[in-house]
Amino acid sequence: MTMEKLLCFLVLTSFSHAFGQTDMSTKAFVFPKESDNSYVSLKAQSTKPLKAFTVCLHVYTELSLTRGYSIFSYASKKHSNDILIFWSKGRGYTLTVGGPEVLFETPEVTAPVHICTSWESASGIVEFWLDGKPRVRKSLKKGYTVGTEASIILGQDQDSFGGGFETNQSLVGDIGNVNMWDFVLSPDQINTVYAGGTFSPNVLDWRALKYEVHGEVYTKPQLWP
C-alpha cells in the first residue's frame, strides 16, 4: 500500500469511527455526572432548511428536583438556540425556536418520560406531548426557517455553535430513542411512536444513528420498556 493510499484509508477510518451509523434501538446514552465537556454529537440525514419539525425522545434523570438541564440542542450558524428542548426548574419544559421560547408547565418527575414536540413555520403552532398526552398548543416564530449546517448536541446546551457548554446546564441521566422528522407528526403517529413504533425519521433516526461521543458518556441498555 502506497503512503497516499494509507493516508486516505486512515482518514476514512477516522471519519467512519467519528460518525458511524449504528442501530441504537435497544440502547441509551448515559451521562453519569455533571460536566462541561461530556456530550454526544448527532449528524443529521437531511441538511435542508426546516419549515417544520417533530422531535421525539426518552429521557430519565433526577435533575428535575434540583436544577434545569438541556435535553436537545440544535444550533445553526445563524443561531445557537435554533431548536432547544430544556427543563427549567420550577417551571417545566421549554421549547426554543430561533431564540424565543414557550413554556409547558409540568410537575417534577424522576421516572423515565417520553417527549414529542413539533413546530411548523406556516402557523407557528407548537405541540408538546408528554408520555403520549398532549399539552395545550402554543405559537412561536411564525414564518421562521430553522437554519442548515446544524450542530446537534445531546447532554449540553450550546451557547455558541458546537460549544459554550456550562456544567450547571448539563444532563445527568439517560437519553434515548431520539428521532426527528422534517414535518409535524399527526396525533395518531405520535401515539404510535410513544407505543414503540416509528415512521421512518428523515432527519435523525435512532435505528440508523450517526453520532460521536465526547467525554464521559456510555452506551447502555435502555431502562424503559
Structural domains of the chain, ranges and CATH numbers in brackets: 27-221 (2.60.120.200)
Burial environment of residue 162 by CB neighbours within 10 A (0 to 12, 13 to 18, 19 or more): middle
Residue type at 149 in one-letter notation: E
Whether residue 19 has pLDDT greater than 70: no
Question: Percent of the chain having pLDDT more than 90?
Answer: 77
* pLDDT tens-digit readout, 200-216: 899 999 999 999 999 99
Of the candidate ranges 15-24, 100-109, 117-126, 163-172, the one whose mean pLDDT is the lowest: 15-24
* pLDDT tens-digit readout, 117-155: 999 999 999 999 999 999 999 999 999 999 988 999 999
pLDDT for 18: 60
**Residues paired with 84 in a beta bridge:** 73, 96
Single out the residue of 178, 176, 153 nearest to residue 164, CA to CA: 153
pLDDT band of residue 54 (cuts 50, 70, 90) is: very high
pTM more than 0.85: yes
Q: How far apart are CA 190 and CA 132, in angstroms?
A: 7
pLDDT band of residue 44 (cuts 50, 70, 90) is: very high
Of the candidate ranges 1-10, 95-104, 165-174, the one whose mean pLDDT is the lowest: 1-10
* pLDDT tens-digit readout, 65-94: 789 999 999 999 888 999 999 999 889 999
